[in-house]
Amino acid sequence: MLLSAEEIEEQLKKLNMIIPVRYYDAIGSTNSAAKLVHDETDKHYLVVAGRQTQGRGRNGRSFQSEFGGGYFSFTFSLGAEDVTTQLCGSVMLAALAVRSVMEEYGVDCSIKWPNDVLCGGRKLCGILSEVVYDRDFPDYMVIGIGINVNNPLTGIEDIATSTLIETGRKLPVAEVVARIVRRFFEMLSDKDFEVMTEYRKCCATLGKNVRVTSPDEEFYGVAEDLNEKGMLVVRTQSGQRRVVSCGDVSIRDVLS
């Protein structure tokens, strides 16, 4: 069944949240659409799609987005902290918000640093955050979330999962989307919420053997900790301490 902007707004209203919504049955990428809508209106919107034809993942990868999943992006103003800290922090917060809402539906998740929400070692949800610059100045942030709900997982069944697979029942996508957005902003505005502490508790990467790949190199080590900015601290096989900010990390014990 197709969604509508009214249905999503209705679900948000039930959670005491008002944010303008744009809904598209099909669009290239909700992250790109959220930027366009923001630049046209100068307002922060929630953009939701029934499916994406060019869903984007991290590091230039694509994100499969068939009907039945939750594909959505929202924008918000940046705060005073440095951009890297806010980028890492918001990705972590988004992953925690997804995990927390999934708990309400009886789906137990962990987080693969920095932004994959896993269930039983398979990916349930991916998150793509982007900072938009106005000339040379960071202007606002876009958070894009793709969660497998009732959608088929064509050709990725070994590495991905959905709430349908995990619970055996179809969940209401508009409600799932609204709850995640609400939870994100709730956590963001809660000054007492300890992002790093909460993240450490459910991070599947910590303590694992990892492979780090970046455009320039590849190395192996153990993921020891997160630093104060949320970057991954890896002890390499030769005993070096390396801080990873944007490399691509695989957990060798969990995912290949």
* Nearer Cβ to ligand BTN (151/193): 151
* Nearer Cβ to ligand BTN (58/235): 58
The Cα 125–Cα 69 span in angstroms is 10
> For tokens 């008002």, what's the residue?
18
* Nearer Cβ to ligand BTN (237/245): 245
- Candidates 11, 73, 75, 110; binder of ligand BTN (CB under 6 A) is 73
Q: Binding of ligand BTN at residue 213 (CB under 6 A)?
A: no
Q: Binding of ligand BTN at residue 255 (CB under 6 A)?
A: no
Long-range CB contacts (< 8 A, 24+ apart) of 237-243? Answer: 242/212
Please identify, among the stretches 126-134, 160-168, 205-213, 219-227, the one whose residues bind ligand BTN according to the rule CB under 6 A: 126-134
| Site for ligand BTN, residues 144 to 183, rule: CB under 6 A | 144-146
Burial 122-145 (b: 16+ CB within 10 A, else e): bbbbbbbbbebeeeeeeebbbbbb
> For tokens 């799609």, what's the residue?
49
Q: Binding of ligand BTN at residue 58 (CB under 6 A)?
A: yes
Residue 183 to residues 86, 128, 252, Cα–Cα distance (Å): 17, 17, 31
Residues that bind ligand BTN (CB under 6 A): 29-31, 52, 55-58, 61, 63, 65, 71-73, 126-128, 144-146
